[in-house]
């Protein structure tokens, strides 16, 4: 359903160097009925999917650690982030994406995944929808060491953590990634681990 309070949308490409940055100029109808011109920039990197791998018997989760330049330039002193496994859809449906990313990043080949949310992570400036999943793993599913795809320069470290340790890392601020925090809290609230 279109928003009747938006009209005359114009889009101007500012950059397509890594992903796409567009500037939108549009008319927005205020509550008093008057129209005002607004401008916004929106970064489009495509949609993504993420998954929290958990083992209910061992009470563990699998997370990743990797360097994230945007965090480094915004106060994260070493630029390293602890996160759930995630990736861009790149034409896949979200469930297939998380299965592929799980194998590439963590080395686990999983088949059963459950979608729990879809969310706009930064709706003021980024168009991306992230589809969030959970999936149970065990040692029989381990097919490689993980670490990410060779052609994607990811340099991912795979972490298997006790679930209570992961919860403490959220509370202490050691885990700062929003999708990871949401999925760990989902696991806690739903007694998955």
Phi-psi label, residue 90: left if phi above 0, alpha if psi -120 to 50, beta otherwise: left
- The answer, as to whether pTM is greater than 0.75, is yes
CA 26 to the chain's CA centroid:
29
pLDDT over 70 (residue 151): no
Q: Where are the domains of the chain?
A: 6-44, 48-189
Q: pLDDT at position 150, please?
A: 66
Q: pLDDT at position 146, please?
A: 85
pLDDT over 70 (residue 153): no
Closest CA to 169 of 187, 184, 186: 184
What sign results for the dihedral spanned by CA atoms 173, 179, 184, 190?
Answer: positive
pLDDT digits over 63-112, tens only? 999 999 999 999 999 999 999 999 999 999 999 999 999 999 999 999 99
The chain-wide mean pLDDT, for the chain, equals 94
Does domain 48-189 fall under CATH 2.10.210.10? My reply is: no
Separation of alpha carbons 44 and 24, rounded Å: 12
Q: What are phi and psi of 102, to 5 degrees?
A: -60, -45
**Percentage with pLDDT > 70 across the chain:** 97
Separation of alpha carbons 6 and 12, rounded Å: 17
DSSP states of 15-63 as a string? Answer: E-SSSEEEEEEEEEE-TTS-EEEEEEEEEE---EEEEEEEETTTTEEEE
Separation of alpha carbons 110 and 98, rounded Å: 9
Separation of alpha carbons 193 and 117, rounded Å: 18
Banded pLDDT at 3 (limits 50, 70, 90): confident
Tokens representing residue 22 in the block: 């567009």
pLDDT digits over 157-188, tens only? 999 999 999 999 999 999 999 999 999 999 99
pLDDT over 80 (residue 62): yes
């Amino acid at each position: 359903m279109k928003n009747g309070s938006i009209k005359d949308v114009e889009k101007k490409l500012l950059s397509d160097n890594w992903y796409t940055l567009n500037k939108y100029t549009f008319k927005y109808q205020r509550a008093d009925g008057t129209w005002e011109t607004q401008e916004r920039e929106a970064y489009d990197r495509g949609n993504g999917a993420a998954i929290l791998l958990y083992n209910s018997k061992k009470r563990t989760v699998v997370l990743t650690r990797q360097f994230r330049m945007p965090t480094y330039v915004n106060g994260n002193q070493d630029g390293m982030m602890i996160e759930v496994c995630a990736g861009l859809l790149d034409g896949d449906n979200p469930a297939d994406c998380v299965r592929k990313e799980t194998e590439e990043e963590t080395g686990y080949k999983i088949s059963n995944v459950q979608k729990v949310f879809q969310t706009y992570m930064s709706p003021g400036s980024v168009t991306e929808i992230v589809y969030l999943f959970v999936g149970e793993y065990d040692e029989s599913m381990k097919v490689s060491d993980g670490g990410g795809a060779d052609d994607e320069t990811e340099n991912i470290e795979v972490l298997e953590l006790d679930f209570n340790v992961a919860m403490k890392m959220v509370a202490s601020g050691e885990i700062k990634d929003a999708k990871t925090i949401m999925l760990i809290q989902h696991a806690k609230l739903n007694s998955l681990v």
